[in-house]
Amino acid sequence: MRAILLSNINMQPLVRTLQPWDVSAGTYNSMLADLSTAESPASAAGVTHVLCLYDSDTLLGEAFYGGGPPEQCEMFLQALESFCARHPDKVVVANLLSPSSNRWLGFADVLHADSLRARQADLNAKLVAIGKSRPNLLLLDLDPLIRRHGEDALMSGAFWYTARIRYTARMFELLADIIRQAINAHAQRCKKVLVLDLDDTLWGGIVGEAGPLGIALSEDGKGLCYRDFQRCIKAATRTGVLLAIASKNNEPDVLEVFDQNKMMVLQRDDFAAMYVNWRPKVQNIVDIANELNLGADSFVFIDDNPVERDAVRKALPEVTVPDFPARAEELPAWFTQKILPAYFAKYAISNEDAAKTEQYRANRARQRLAASFDLDGYLAELGIECSISVNNGDRLTRAAQMTQKTSQFNLTTRRYEVTDLARFVRSHEHAVLMLDYKDRFGDEGAVALAIVDLAEGRIDTFLESCRVIGRRVEDRLLDKAIELCRSHGHRRIIGEYIPTRKNQMVAEFYDSHGFAPLSKYGDGRITYEKPIDDRRPGAG
Amino acid sequence: MIDDREQDKIQAAMKFIAVTLDIPEGELGPDSSMDNTPDWDSSEHMNICLLFEQQFGVKMDMDIITSATSIRALAALIP
């Protein structure tokens, strides 16, 4: 590419910061003449990019001080439009009008007929109209950049009055960056897929430990950092960015987050591919590339874990792997200011872009159907083995601990001490049931607990660790509780749900296990019953 | 007598000018200036002042921009 830099002020220092691009600066204040003249250097055949980076205050001229209409602006608009029309093969970059904050009207700039604010809006509307009809015109809004870094840091009176240089060295660096990004965006050189980790990336904490409702994801505090981060990512999907998950987790745990956590901005449908398993992420990324039929060189991988990032960088150098912010509060700004402009910038968003995820998702659904994934198959593959112990006096410490610590999958949230449980066991009126779990990945130990009042045929306590939720382990424990009640002569079993701030995930547990509501109490407590008389057909 | 600190500042200014003008440091001396250094023209001087301000954290005013046209003058500005 060969570029020429035109302006109405001294922009020579930008030539340096745009290196190694081949950029030459037009003569000082030659912008209008160069755009209007057929024989100008900007019109030369080899020039691929014309950068019109003018100073807005200067272009407004006396109008900036309220001294008449902005004649230069109108001339510039005409010259720009005709140049773009004459040279459809050249990309013309021009900034929108963004006057400095020095307003001669002060507070009156809001209402006054000669308001700069109104002037700016009017001229920019005209520029945008030209931009819509001339696809080779690339309009650049510098306002967000100036607002972010501040005029005081970016502009210099000393250089301005010495050499007609408006900006500081920092601004020339930032200008070069934004111009490069905009030209890449205009040329549609951008990445396609954002591959995301989950724990401590899309939400705070580890879902396998904290559970689907225990992760940090909310409308305030740290949880809001992650929720806003998700909002930023969701916005990116509207510009055609495809999302994929590569996470080391148990898939059911993750699916529960999508199903149960109302704070999730991103939904299952937002992801074109989802790989939640314990394989190396490199392998998952390769599979995502195959599934989406896209090169991994169009992937950006975001993960809070430096070890995972390093592994992907080494094994798949074509994947872009940016560093991850150290603090959660930096996530939204980091993503919007660093990741999006650097890798996913687009200048024009098409309807196809907006519908891209949907298109890939449909493909995925077909592929998944072909592979006929289902929960039963998954559970069968895990090779789950459970054993249930009843009234094992050696394990009451652990049992008490489970009643103290489990808050989410806990129907009654009754907290017991070891001494309480010992009394239960001794009395023979209660049974303490503990379920131990292992699968082919390892032994999890005791993961579920039930305390059954055998005198009443009532389930006093029923809880399960979040580590194994979604694997239907609780069904086996419930079956055992029913069996015990039956063997003690009961023809029905009573269940109970006491709502707390944390246990809404099991609000419908008994409804979905064949229990019928018995009584509802003012505090939200509900009792259930289920017939368990095995002599009656269809029962139990 | 020139103390070590002053000497260090002159060295830093020479190194900075060499990098900015993209010339070997050996072509510069403590007495180099816009007048005796061919690559140090008025246009490059603006780059020099912009980058000097940024790299050494020195706020350049108009008087400094027009007067700090030698290694010694720039070195004297280094904090």
A371: confidence class by pLDDT, cuts 50, 70, 90: low
When pLDDT is cut at 50, 70 and 90, the band that residue A469 belongs to is confident
Whether residue A355 lies inside any domain: the answer is yes
- What number is the average pLDDT over the span A411-417? 92
Query: How far is the C-alpha of B52 from the C-alpha of A149, rounded, in Å?
Result: 20
- Among A12, A161, A169, the residue with its CB nearest the CB of B62 is A161
pLDDT digits (tens, 9 = 90+) for A237-260: 999 899 999 999 999 999 999 999
Mean pLDDT for A449-461 is 95
What is the mean pLDDT of the segment spanning A132-151? 94
Instruction: Over range A449-455, report the average pLDDT.
Output: 95
**Residue A517: phi, psi to the nearest 5?**
-60, 140
Q: What is the CATH number of the domain that holds A266?
A: 3.40.50.1000
Q: Report d(CA A325, CA A276) in Å as an integer.
A: 23
When divided into structural domains, chain A yields a total of: 3
A–B: how many Cβ contacts below 8 A? 38
Residue of B nearest to A17 (CA): B47
Mean predicted confidence (pLDDT) in A143-164: 96
Query: Is A147 within 8 Å of chain B by CB?
Result: no
Domain containing B73 equals 4-77
Answer yes or no: do A60 and A132 share one domain: yes
pLDDT band (50, 70, 90) for residue A539? very low
Nearest neighbour of A158 by CB, restricted to B47, B51, B60: B60
pLDDT at position A375, please? 65
Residue for token pair 């055609």:
A240
Mutate to test the interface with B, among A27, A161, A162 (most CBs of B within 10 A): A162
Q: Which CATH number characterizes residue A169's domain?
A: 3.40.50.1110
Most trustworthy range by pLDDT among A8-17, A37-46, A181-190: A8-17
Residue-wise pLDDT tens digits, A74-121: 999 999 999 999 998 899 999 999 999 998 999 999 999 889 999 999
Q: What is the pLDDT of residue A216?
A: 96
| A357 and A240 in a common domain | yes
Beta bridge partners of A275: A246
Q: Does a structural domain hold residue A132? A: yes
The answer to whether residues A208 and A182 belong to one domain is no
pLDDT, position A467: 67
> Do both A242 and A346 map to the same domain?
yes
| Residue A146 covered by a domain | yes
Q: In the listed set A186, A206, A237, which residue is the last one of a domain according to the structure?
A: A186
Give the tens place of pLDDT for each residue, A300-353.
999 999 999 999 999 999 999 999 999 999 999 999 999 999 999 988 887 767
Q: What's the N-to-C CA distance of chain A in angstroms?
A: 77
**Distance of residue A169 Cα from the nearest chain B Cα, in angstroms:** 5
Test B46 with A159 for CB contact under 8 angstroms: yes
Contact of B46 with chain A, judged by CB distance below 8 Å, is answered with yes
Question: Could you tell me if A10 and A145 lie in one domain?
Answer: yes
> Mapped to the 3 state alphabet, what secondary structure does A415-443 carry?
CCCHHHHHHHHHHCCEEEEEEEEEECCEE
User: Does A12 contact B54 at a Cβ distance shorter than 8 Å?
Assistant: no
Of the two residues A359 and A135, the one the predictor is more confident about is A135
Percent of chain A, pLDDT > 70? 95
The side-by-side arrangement of strands in the sheet containing A49-52 is A22-25, A2-6, A49-52, A91-95, A137-140
Q: Tens digit of pLDDT for each residue in B11-51?
A: 999 999 999 999 999 999 999 999 999 999 999 999 999 99
Q: Do B50 and A13 touch (CB under 8 A)?
A: yes
pLDDT at residue number A366: 53
Task: Please check whether residue A540 lies inside any domain of the structure.
Answer: no
- Name the more confident of A379 and A479: A479
Residue where a domain stops, chosen among A125, A160, A186: A186
Tell me: do A228 and A174 sit in the same domain.
no
* Each residue's pLDDT tens digit, A95-105: 999 999 998 99
pLDDT reported for residue A465: 84
Whether residues A175 and A79 share a domain: the answer is: yes
Contact A159 B49 (CB under 8 A): yes
The three-class DSSP label of residue A58 is helix
The stretch A16-41 carries a mean pLDDT of: 92
pLDDT of residue B34: 95
- pLDDT exceeds cutoff 80 at A71: yes
Q: What pLDDT score does A426 carry?
A: 84
Same domain, A272 and A179: no
Same domain for A351 and A291? yes
Alpha-helical runs (H) found in A41-156: 56-60, 71-86, 116-133, 143-149, 151-154
- pLDDT at position B1, please? 52
pLDDT at A363 over 90: no
Q: Which candidate in B19, B50, B53, B64 is best for mutational testing of the A interface (most A CBs within 10 A)?
A: B50
Final residue before a domain boundary, out of A186, A208, A227: A186
Q: Does residue A539 belong to any structural domain of this protein?
A: no
User: Do A159 and B47 count as a contact with CB atoms less than 8 A apart?
Assistant: no
CB-nearest partner of A168 from B47, B54, B65: B54
Q: Per-residue confidence at A537, pLDDT binned at 50, 70, 90?
A: very low
Q: What is the pLDDT of residue A87?
A: 93
pLDDT digits (tens, 9 = 90+) for A288-297: 998 887 889 9
The CATH number linked to B8 is: 1.10.1200.10
Residue A270: its pLDDT value, please? 93
Q: What is the mean pLDDT of residues A405-420?
A: 88
Does residue A393 share a domain with residue A339?
Answer: no
pLDDT tens-place string over residues A184-232: 888 878 899 999 999 999 999 999 889 999 999 999 999 999 999 999 9
Residue A47 shares a structural domain with residue A176: yes
**Which residue type occupies B19?**
V
Q: Give the whole-angstrom CA distance, residue A218 versus residue A234.
A: 16
Among A96, A91, A320, CA closest to A185: A91
Number of domains in chain B: 1
**Structural domain harbouring A143:** 2-186
The neighbour count for residue A188, using CB atoms within 10 Å, is 10
A339 shares a domain with A244: yes
Distance from CA of A22 to the nearest CA of B (A): 17
pLDDT in tens, A428-439: 889 999 999 887
Q: How far apart are CA A506 and CA A213, in angstroms?
A: 12
ipTM value of the model? 0.92
Query: A507 vs A389, A481, A497, CA distance in Å?
Result: 26, 19, 7
Residues in B closer than 8 angstroms to A156, CB to CB, are 53, 60
Please check whether residue A158 touches B, CB under 8 A.
yes
Contact criterion met (CB below 8 Å) for A260 and A505: yes
Q: Cβ A12–B43 below 8 Å, yes or no?
A: yes
Q: Is A230 within the bounds of a domain?
A: yes
How remote is the C-alpha of A234 from its chain's centroid?
Answer: 6
For every residue of A174-228, DSSP letters joined together read: HHHHHHHHHHHHHTT----EEEE--BTTTBBS-HHHH-TTTSB-SSSHHHHHHHH
* Distance in angstroms (rounded) separating the CA atoms of residues A415 and A470: 24
Tell me whether residue A490 is in a domain.
yes
Percent of chain A beyond pLDDT 90? 72
